[in-house]
Amino acid sequence: STEEEDFHLQLSPEQVSDLLRAGESSHKVLDFNNGVPNSVLRFESNQLAANSPVEDRQGVATCVQTNGMMFGIFDGHGGHACAQAVSERLFYYMAVSLMSHQTLEQMEEATENMKPLLPILRWLKHPGDSIYKDVTSVHLDHLRVYWQELLDLHMEMGLSIEEALMYSFQRLDSDISLEIQAPLEDEVTRNLSLQVAFSGATACMAHVNGVHLHVANAGDCRAILGVQEENGAWSCLPLTCDHNAWNEAELSRLKREHPESEDRTLIIDDRLLGVLMPCRAFGDVQLKWSKELQRNVLARGFDTEALNIYQFTPPHYYTPPYLTAKPEVTYHRLRRQDKFLVLASDGLWDMLGNEDVVRLVVGHLSKVGRHKPDLDQRPANLGLMQSLLLQRKASGLHAADQNTATHLIRHAIGSNEYGEMEPERLAAMLTLPEDVARMYRDDITVMVVFFNSDSIDTYCKEG
Amino acid sequence: SSVEQKMANYSNKLYHQLEQETGIQTGYLRTGSISLAQTQDRLISLKRINSRLNVVGIPSEIISPKKVAELHPLLNVHDLVGAMYVPEDAVVSSADVALALASAASQNGVQIYDRTSVLHVLIKKGQVTGVETDKGQIECQYFVNCAGQWAYELGLSNEEPLSIPLHACEHFYLLTRPWDTPLQSNTPTIVDADGRIYIRNWQGGILSGGFEKNPKPIFTEGKNQLEIQNLREDWDHFEPLLSSLLRRMPALETLEILKLVNCPETFTPDMKCIMGESPVVQGYFVLAGMNSAGLSLGGGAGKFLAEWMVYGYPSENVWELDLQRFGALQSSRTFLRHRVMEVMPLIYDLKVPRWDFQTGRQLRTSPLYDRLDAQGARWMEKHGFERPKYFVPPNKDLLALEQSKTFYKPDWFDIVESEVKCCKEAVCVIDMSSFTKFEITSTGDEALESLQYLFCNDLDVPVGHIVHTGMLNEYGGYENDCSIARLTKRSFFMISPTDQQVHCWAWLNKYLPKDSNLLLEDVTWKYTALNLIGPRAVDVLSELSYAPMTPDHFPTLFCKEMSVGYANGIRVMSMTHTGEPGFMLYIPIEYALHVYNEVMSVGQKYGIRNAGYYALRSLRIEKFFAFWGQDLNTLTTPLECGGESRVKLEKGIDFIGRDALLQQKQTGVYKRLAMFILDDHDTDLDLWPWWGEPIYRNGKYAGKTTSSAYSYTLERHVCLGYVHNFSEDSGEEQVVTTDFINRGEYEIDIAGHRFQAKAKLYPVTSFFTHKRRKDDVELSDFHGK
């Protein structure tokens, strides 16, 4: 009704903040993990939807058996099914990949004898209410096949982290693709698997263990590191390359993988085969399978319309696969000056550059830090406390956002072309009708991971 | 509410004697409390509470700002218009009370395992058998989930998850160091709801917290021990409450801060706590979601729950707190997070009649929702379902949401008047799809046999007849009040109030024979229900069906499947839940839009228009149709509300509650539902009745109202309420006879002002109304849902 529209157009600053804060969460990590100092101090995240329902996913989990922490951002397209599946399952694949031969043997033995499994993950941020509850036993079966194959490799110490990331990404993608090719009894499972395979998701996952930071990326999510040099100056260290049409290396890879005759048709209008922005992604079997395979699978009587499956054969489709989930893995050894890691979906990077992001995080940190009344140092009476709080309120310094990720999203959608905050613009962007929102902004998911410089120092001293 | 008042009152008495009983100091101190009013509206709200406290024997009074200043020397009273003083209110230390209760329990043989966490509850064949803890298994017959903010997750951890809708918000309170010269220990506790704060003495200093406008929900993603240890103080967040505190008590400025405590509290979707038995697992009880009133309600809540477990029923009607008022539909984390952000500030917001929640809306809707919305529908929500309140005409403006909060005549008065008029003179259509609808069928006679036992009215009626009947408990009280249509010899269609979806389902499943070929199905979602009310409904329907619809062909309380427009298989029932002539149409949802469009287009020449629940409510209350959940509950019997004709006492058929009713028939009833017509009440200028207003008979307190509405026909307010006969000497309840009712002079107390009222035991059919037809009166229709 018109009354409601009027109401929305006049969002108060508080309402704007409520909307922005709705998806935020922050989490302080324990100083020690199994007696080992934790190099991660805390992480903060937030998500703002443009699609309805939102297609981005995020997750944070600890590998219980090997002590690493994993942070993942997943940007779905063509529905959220693939992003949901990847965000739930990839962490398990990764954790299993890192397990030692001995641990894998225990897992296998437990499964064999129907005993409780060793805990694999401890979720610190679960991707959300699972829609795949009924399917998890199938997923567990496939995970088991994976660890059985790892067992066959007879590697005492398990894979290296880099190998583990490579394997998990590709293995999960291949499982997603195979699950729907295999006959599935249950209709719900079948339909879900089909939706997963026929939608897509890019993924960016960071693994932190002590000073070892690995980032695996497939697609156009991005990870950057905020670095403070000894002279106090801040800089940005990108840890990923966007896999899209503007990436020369990706263009040459594609050309290398396909016959020369297709050179001109691989990228059309800056999209892979004219269809997809990222040129690496999970799912999207329309760009991976042969036409025959797609026909055969869909011919098994799926109600593609009801399942919302976007069925198409792109033009110039000669030598599939055109798309891969193989990640690009970067390694960085954490130093004292590495202060924080920002992982975000392309919705953020469309609006803000790497340097802007570092600048905003640093600005936010200093504000939050500088103006915190410190009760330990100075016993305050109520009157003094009140005037201090009122000063902070008046100067707007306490910034509605305690959460760094919220601060980034606020600026991403509220800044004009000169990088200045425009409250009207911010309110307008937040009140876009559902069907229009996606034209002005994408789903935005941001995760900021702060490192504990003291723990990192300890590691460095130990050599 | 009154049951919460009773719980608080019991807790107060319990804590008072606890120290003596256990020898453990509880810090119990009778300080009294003062609730401040900064506005006239707040004062009205306090006066209403004051009226109710007085009649249940809790001393309280409305006092002037000057008196406030005398009772509490440090308060700034310049901006106050009045206050309520409750001298017997007390403070205790919650930790010490818990300790005392635990020790008393231990003395009586209870074993307490501390530092033991419950992993999950063991269930066999729908019955609790034990608990799996991190230290092993414990066998038990009963389990009470009182895990506070973790109750939600514990409920979900069952194999068959139990939805316990609650969510935590951070809650901040301030502790100060002692004053140089401490306040007297009996200085009253202050509640400044307009300032959103409470203030009490604490170890020579003060303790003060509040319920801010912008709460911070927490633990949305569930239990996380790391977070609870790291809950941070948030001074910036606390600033508005601190400023409010210093405005109220300026002298506090120099007091030193001890600390700001962040202690999350749990809130529920409707601001009422959650107690009762799981609808699916026997022996699984819940008590959680105290909305920050855990200490004051805890003692009474524990008593009621104990009664529930031991006797099967608590001694008070606790439906408004019953777990079964919720279903799985309220268990979404997103819904809970959004809703509690609204609920927490509401604790100190002004509570006015007809308040609707703004968050968590548009969850269940009829297929006509968009059509009705476009025509100006304003919505209210029940059990997640959107229902139209009234329709704002295109050229009419209503007040903004905040301004429309009033205890007086509301801004929609004229709108509803024209809808009521249209129901009386032409025809209106109301979308009533939210009703709970069950179908019960069997291959043999099991359906009839079982239903005869479960319901108090005779259901062995010819096919096509509709019966109004109660579903009673063994004490003869209403567990549900519904209409049942006999579709065929072996199948029945049952219509119950919207919020009965979980409770009635659980009740039927408990009592229907197992392992029989009886089929019970919830078909609520399958039908859209349209109520065509008014004298011209018959014309609209006969034009659309080419079938005669006059009373000769289609008598009252009759059900027939027929075609309406192009759509076939529409269940048409000659009843309207209001006593007005008309029909209910139960339409398979895919036909809903078609039938609605046809009805509206054909109805045009008969003056059809949309109407909402406010019109329906006015119509049914003026006809003395009681409403389950408000006027009827588990502690009221058909005999107490004039429903004897709907009970098959004389037919020799056994049913649940029969013995109790026979007994009651012998001894007489101790309370009687009556209808009150306010006499000297000025609709424009006086405060409107709501519910819970004390009823005075010959100047003596005799009971409370249960609902009220303005009757546009009588041009008077009508209240329903129970009249008791309290003995003058002992206060004991005595038998209430028709004569007793008729011979009284009545007054209704609205916020301290008494209005004269006439009591009626039967609806007023003649003295103001006109143009009535003989067969219009569905005398036996006794509910409105």
pLDDT bucket at A378, cuts 50 / 70 / 90: low
For B174, the closest chain A residue by CA position comes to A382
For B231, the closest chain A residue by CA position comes to A28
CATH fold match for the domains B436-617 and B657-762: no
Fold of B436-617: Gyrase A; domain 2 (3.30.1360)
Q: Per-residue pLDDT tens for B91-146?
A: 999 999 999 999 999 999 999 998 898 988 999 989 999 999 988 999 999 999 99
Of A38-52, A420-434, B163-177, which gets the smallest average pLDDT? Answer: A420-434
**Is residue A183 reached through a cis peptide bond, with omega within 30 degrees of 0 on the bond before it?**
no
Judge whether A329 and A162 are in contact, CB under 8 Å.
yes
Judge whether A203 and A56 are in contact, CB under 8 Å.
no
Whether A392 and chain B come into contact, CB under 8 Å, resolves to yes
Closest-CA residue to B222 (of A268, A315, A129, A264): A129
Rounded CA separation B473/B479 (Å): 6
pLDDT of residue B396: 85
Q: Which are the contacts of B726, defined by CB distance < 8 A and separation ≥ 6?
A: B700, B701, B702, B732, B733, B734
| Distance from the A74 Cα atom to the nearest Cα atom in chain B, whole angstroms | 19
Mean pLDDT of chain A: 85
Rounded CA separation A219/A327 (Å): 8
Of A30-34, B607-611, B767-771, which gets the smallest average pLDDT? Answer: B767-771
Whether A29 and chain B come into contact, CB under 8 Å, resolves to yes
For B374, the closest chain A residue by CA position comes to A1
| Residues of chain B contacting residue A379, judged by C-beta atoms under 8 Å apart | 256-257
- Residue in this structure with the two tokens 């309290």, named with its chain if needed: B726
Interior CA angle at A17 toward A12 and A19, to 5°? 95
Judge whether A251 and A258 are in contact, CB under 8 Å.
no
Side chain identity at residue A124, one-letter code = L
Whether A373 and chain B come into contact, CB under 8 Å, resolves to yes
Whether A259 and chain B come into contact, CB under 8 Å, resolves to no
Interface confidence (ipTM) of the complex: 0.82
Judge whether B708 and B621 are in contact, CB under 8 Å.
yes
**Is residue A119 reached through a cis peptide bond, with omega within 30 degrees of 0 on the bond before it?**
no
Rounded CA separation B348/B267 (Å): 14
For B335, the closest chain A residue by CA position comes to A22
In this complex, do B257 and A380 lie within 8 Å of one another by their Cβ atoms? yes
Whether A25 and chain B come into contact, CB under 8 Å, resolves to yes
In this complex, do A375 and B259 lie within 8 Å of one another by their Cβ atoms? yes
pLDDT of residue B779: 42
Q: Which are the contacts of B386, defined by CB distance < 8 A and separation ≥ 6?
A: B361, B362, B363, B364, B365, B366, B369, B379, B380, B434
Whether A398 and chain B come into contact, CB under 8 Å, resolves to yes
Q: How many residues are recorded in chain A?
A: 463
Rounded CA separation B709/B613 (Å): 12
Residue B695 has pLDDT above 50, yes or no: yes
Rounded CA separation A272/A324 (Å): 12
- Which 3 state secondary structure label does DSSP give B445? coil
DSSP bridge pairs for A43 = A27, A449
| Residues of chain B contacting residue A126, judged by C-beta atoms under 8 Å apart | 221
pLDDT bucket at A2, cuts 50 / 70 / 90: very low
Phi, psi angle pair for B29, to nearest 5°: -145, 120
| Residues of chain B contacting residue A58, judged by C-beta atoms under 8 Å apart | none
- Domain spanning B657-762 has what CATH number? 2.40.30.110
E runs forming strands in A219-314: 222-228, 234-238, 267-268, 271-272, 282-283
In this complex, do B254 and A379 lie within 8 Å of one another by their Cβ atoms? no
Q: Per-residue pLDDT tens for B182-197?
A: 888 889 999 999 999 9
In this complex, do B214 and A18 lie within 8 Å of one another by their Cβ atoms? yes
Q: Distances from the Cα of B130 to the Cαs of A277, B106, B121, B156, in angstroms?
A: 55, 21, 6, 17
Whether A383 and chain B come into contact, CB under 8 Å, resolves to yes
pLDDT bucket at A76, cuts 50 / 70 / 90: very high
Rounded CA separation A439/A432 (Å): 10
| Residues of chain B contacting residue A383, judged by C-beta atoms under 8 Å apart | 246, 252-254
Closest-CA residue to A219 (of A398, A316, A343): A343
| Residues of chain A contacting residue B256, judged by C-beta atoms under 8 Å apart | 379-382
In this complex, do B246 and A27 lie within 8 Å of one another by their Cβ atoms? no
Closest-CA residue to A37 (of A286, A211, A249, A232): A211
Higher-pLDDT residue of B426 and A36 is: B426
Q: Distances from the Cα of B352 to the Cαs of A75, B45, B327, B412, in angstroms?
A: 46, 8, 26, 15
- Look at domain B113-168+270-335 and name its CATH class: alpha beta
In this complex, do A1 and B376 lie within 8 Å of one another by their Cβ atoms? yes
In this complex, do B235 and A373 lie within 8 Å of one another by their Cβ atoms? yes
Minimum-distance CB partner of A129 among B254, B257, B333: B333
| Distance from the B258 Cα atom to the nearest Cα atom in chain A, whole angstroms | 9
Minimum-distance CB partner of A382 among B176, B226, B259: B176
pLDDT bucket at A416, cuts 50 / 70 / 90: confident
- SS3 string, B579-633, reads CCCEEEEEEEHHHHHHHHHHHHHHHHHHCCEECCHHHHHHHHHHCCCCCECCCEC
Q: What tokens does B162 get? A: 């139990």
| Residues of chain A contacting residue B252, judged by C-beta atoms under 8 Å apart | 382-383
In this complex, do A383 and B253 lie within 8 Å of one another by their Cβ atoms? yes
| Distance from the B589 Cα atom to the nearest Cα atom in chain A, whole angstroms | 19
pLDDT of residue A1: 38
Longest dimension (CA), chain A: 79
| Distance from the A10 Cα atom to the nearest Cα atom in chain B, whole angstroms | 14
Q: What tokens does B664 get? A: 């009651």
E runs forming strands in B272-354: 274-277, 284-288
pLDDT bucket at A4, cuts 50 / 70 / 90: very low
- The whole-number average pLDDT for the span B498-524 is 93
| Residues of chain A contacting residue B152, judged by C-beta atoms under 8 Å apart | none
Side chain identity at residue B782, one-letter code = F
Domains and CATH numbers, chain A: 2-243+278-284+323-462 (3.60.40.10)
Rounded CA separation B783/B561 (Å): 23
In this complex, do B254 and A381 lie within 8 Å of one another by their Cβ atoms? yes
Q: What tokens does B670 get? A: 């101790």
Minimum-distance CB partner of B226 among A18, A28, A402: A28
- Residue in this structure with the two tokens 């004298």, named with its chain if needed: B535
Closest-CA residue to A289 (of A187, A184, A178): A178
**Residues of chain A numbered 120-159 and touching chain B (CB < 8 Å):** 124-126, 129
Q: Which are the contacts of B682, defined by CB distance < 8 A and separation ≥ 6?
A: none
For B377, the closest chain A residue by CA position comes to A1
Judge whether B705 and B723 are in contact, CB under 8 Å.
no
- Which 3 state secondary structure label does DSSP give A81? helix
Relative to beta strand A328-333, strand A338-344 is unpaired
Whether A379 and chain B come into contact, CB under 8 Å, resolves to yes
Q: What tokens does A391 get? A: 């000063």
Whether A381 and chain B come into contact, CB under 8 Å, resolves to yes
Minimum-distance CB partner of B256 among A29, A381, A398: A381
Q: Per-residue pLDDT tens for B347-387?
A: 999 988 888 998 999 999 999 999 999 999 999 999 999 99
B235, B243, B332, B392, best to mutate vs chain A, most A CBs in 10 Å: B235
Q: Which are the contacts of B556, defined by CB distance < 8 A and separation ≥ 6?
A: B574, B575, B775, B778
- The whole-number average pLDDT for the span A430-450 is 87
Judge whether A227 and A334 are in contact, CB under 8 Å.
no
pLDDT of residue B751: 94
Q: Where are the domains of chain B?
A: 113-168+270-335, 436-617, 657-762
Side chain identity at residue A54, one-letter code = V
Residue B226 has pLDDT above 70, yes or no: no
